[in-house]
């Protein structure tokens, strides 16, 4: 008999499951709290369930587990990178990033960058994950397990979640949103949706879907250029949804949800850091009234890049500051994001599991 994985089920699905066993509905609420609030890893820990129900659950269900293969800590900034093995042997990486500043409002922040897929199909030229190709979507339980396992190795509570690890979360929309629902459920992880960010490489249709469904987490777009020719070279997805379609989708999202959006922008030397790029970014800022994050490019030399990937160079620190200042002069809300975990290949765009590669 195939056992049912209870990790990743929401309250409604758990109710259906327990009633199919002849149990009252309230048992679902108890199991939900054990799984996500108490973070139980076995049915035997669920002491307010009857012994006979615990025995039945051991016979017909299981709680999906993770194997931690390795974890590394950055000597520079304390960022931690985890390598996990999934139940089918595939591997993914997850990163936990401590705050970079001692400002009062962020000193207690601890951010986890979760993966949503094993590998990625989108082939962005600057990203190490692209070198793996796409292997499969993560289950809701596997997304939750990244948090649960990483938390055990963190000395304070993880407070923020960004879907910016391996994969495009919009292409695993249902599982990613189911995980968000459990992260934010008061009987689950109880994390405010304002502390969760979904980042997309550019699926205008899913941006609109998030708006139509009134999804609560924050939304970020990996923009990297306002020019279709350059963005298309950097991110092939731009050929499916071009810049104007994306900006229109963000306008729709803002109008419908009344929430702000973020634009992520890796600054490449001589590629997207010209006066024309300042002009175009200023224009889109005025249209969207959004926050723009400038990100340093992190080397993906370890993936043996070829073609355009091998020719990309990040702007220098001074170059990024010059670009930032030009935008600030135009009163754009723009920030420079600091690198985290560069010495352990854990920084933005560097996640990849070589032995999992579908294409190398
Ligand atoms: S940047 Fe994101 S969407 Fe693009 S290849 Fe990497 S993981 Fe996929």
Q: Is 295 in the pocket of ligand 1 (CB under 6 A)?
A: no
pLDDT score, position 354: 64
pLDDT score, position 105: 52
**Which ligand 1 atom sits closest to the C-alpha of 126?**
1
**Which ligand 1 atom sits closest to the C-alpha of 127?**
6
Among residues 310, 120, 96, which one has the least CA distance to residue 202? 120
Residue 106 pLDDT level (bands cut at 50, 70, 90): low
How confident is the model over 220-241, as pLDDT tens digits? 999 999 999 999 999 999 999 9
Q: Is 118 in the pocket of ligand 1 (CB under 6 A)?
A: no
Identify whether the C-beta of residue 77 lies closer than 8 Å to the C-beta of residue 341.
yes
Say how many Å lie between the CA of residue 103 and the centre of ligand 1: 31
Highest-scoring range by mean pLDDT, 225-229, 305-309, 337-341: 225-229
More confident residue, 298 or 233: 233
| Lowest-pLDDT choice from 168-177, 205-214, 336-345 | 336-345
Mean pLDDT of 26-40: 95
Q: Which phi and psi (to 5°) does residue 213 adopt? A: -85, 0
| Lowest-pLDDT choice from 116-120, 302-306, 341-345 | 302-306
Q: What is the mean pLDDT of the chain?
A: 92
pLDDT score, position 312: 83
**Domains in the chain, please, with CATH?**
4-62 (1.10.150.530), 67-356 (3.20.20.70)
Tokens of 346: 């854990």
Tokens of 258: 């009344």
Highest-scoring range by mean pLDDT, 91-105, 125-139, 271-285, 296-310: 271-285
In order of 82, 91, 145, 237, 238, the CA distances from 227 in angstroms are 36, 35, 38, 14, 10
The pTM of the whole model exceeds 0.75: yes
Instruction: Answer whether residue 102 shows pLDDT above 80.
Output: no
The enclosing H or E element of 161 equals strand 160-163
Q: How far apart are CA 76 and CA 307, in angstroms?
A: 31
Residue 310, classed as helix, strand or coil, is helix
Instruction: Answer whether residue 357 shows pLDDT above 70.
Output: no
Catalytic residues: 93, 348
Residues 6 or more apart whose Cβ sits within 8 Å of residue 25: 15, 18, 19
Calculate what percentage of the chain has a pLDDT beyond 70. 96
How confident is the model over 10-27, as pLDDT tens digits? 999 999 999 999 999 999
Tokens of 257: 């949800």
Q: Is 167 in the pocket of ligand 1 (CB under 6 A)?
A: yes
Q: How far apart are CA 261 and CA 263, in angstroms?
A: 7
More confident residue, 252 or 155: 252
pLDDT score, position 356: 62
| Lowest-pLDDT choice from 176-180, 266-270, 342-346 | 342-346
Instruction: Answer whether residue 287 shows pLDDT above 90.
Output: yes
């Amino acid at each position: 008999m195939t056992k049912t994985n209870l990790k990743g089920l929401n309250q409604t699905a758990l109710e259906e499951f327990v009633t199919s066993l002849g149990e009252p509905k309230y048992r679902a609420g108890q199991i939900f709290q054990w799984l996500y609030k108490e973070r139980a890893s076995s049915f035997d820990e669920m002491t307010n369930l009857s012994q006979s129900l615990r025995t039945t659950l051991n016979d017909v269900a299981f709680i999906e587990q993770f194997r931690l293969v390795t974890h590394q800590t950055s000597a520079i900034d304390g960022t931690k990178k985890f390598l996990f093995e999934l139940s089918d042997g595939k591997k993914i990486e997850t990163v936990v990033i401590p705050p970079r500043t001692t400002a009062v409002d962020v000193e207690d922040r601890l951010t986890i960058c979760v993966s949503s897929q094993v590998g990625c199909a989108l082939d962005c030229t600057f990203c190490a994950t692209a070198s793996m190709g796409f292997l499969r979507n993560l289950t809701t339980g596997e997304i939750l397990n990244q948090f649960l396992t990483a938390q055990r190795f963190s000395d304070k509570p993880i407070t923020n979640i960004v879907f910016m690890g391996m994969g495009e979360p919009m292409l695993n929309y249902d599982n990613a949103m189911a995980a968000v629902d459990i992260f934010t459920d008061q009987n689950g992880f109880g994390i405010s949706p304002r502390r969760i960010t979904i980042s997309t490489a550019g699926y205008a249709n899913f941006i609109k879907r998030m708006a139509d469904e009134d999804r609560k987490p924050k939304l970020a777009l990996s923009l990297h250029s306002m020019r279709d020719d350059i963005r298309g070279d950097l991110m092939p997805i731009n050929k499916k949804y071009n810049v104007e379609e994306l900006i229109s989708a963000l306008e729709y999202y803002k109008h419908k949800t009344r929430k702000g959006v973020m634009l992520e922008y890796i600054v490449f030397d001589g590629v997207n850091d010209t006066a024309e790029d300042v002009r175009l970014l200023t224009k889109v800022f005025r249209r969207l009234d959004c926050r723009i994050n400038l990100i340093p490019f992190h080397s993906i030399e370890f993936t043996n890049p070829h073609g355009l990937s091998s020719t990309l160079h990040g702007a220098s620190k001074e170059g990024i500051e010059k670009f930032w200042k030009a935008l600030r002069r135009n009163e754009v809300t723009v920030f420079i994001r600091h690198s985290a975990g560069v010495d352990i290949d854990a920084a933005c765009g560097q996640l990849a599991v070589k032995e999992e590669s579908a294409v190398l």
